[in-house]
Amino acid sequence: MIRPVLLVATFLSLVWLPWPVTIVFMVLTSIFIPISGIVFGLLLDIFYAPLGVSSLPYGLMWGSIATAIGFVVERFLRTRIMGA
């Protein structure tokens, strides 16, 4: 139940909340669904990146970091649960 709620909250934060809050939601969602960080980072770049301002996709970079954190946490939790 928490996964769909976090997905919807992250998507809505892209539209209504400032970008730092969206990054926090992106990291929280990536803990449960690791690939979602890249998807929401790409959406962040598509929604808010003005053309010609910067060549670096900052949303995608933040999404990649969130995805890496999600994979590490998921692997740690899976190892911890299976090892117990």
| pLDDT tens digits along 16-45 | 998 888 888 888 888 888 888 889 888 888
Phi and psi at 22, nearest 5°, equal -65, -40
- Nearest by Cα to 71 from 41, 40, 38, 43: 38
What percent of the chain clears pLDDT 90, i.e. is strictly above it? 4
Residue tagged 């929401």 (tokens): 40
Please name the residue ranges forming H helices in the chain: 2-16, 19-32, 36-48, 58-83
The pTM assigned to this predicted structure is 0.74
Domain boundaries, the chain: 2-83
Residue tagged 């969206």 (tokens): 22
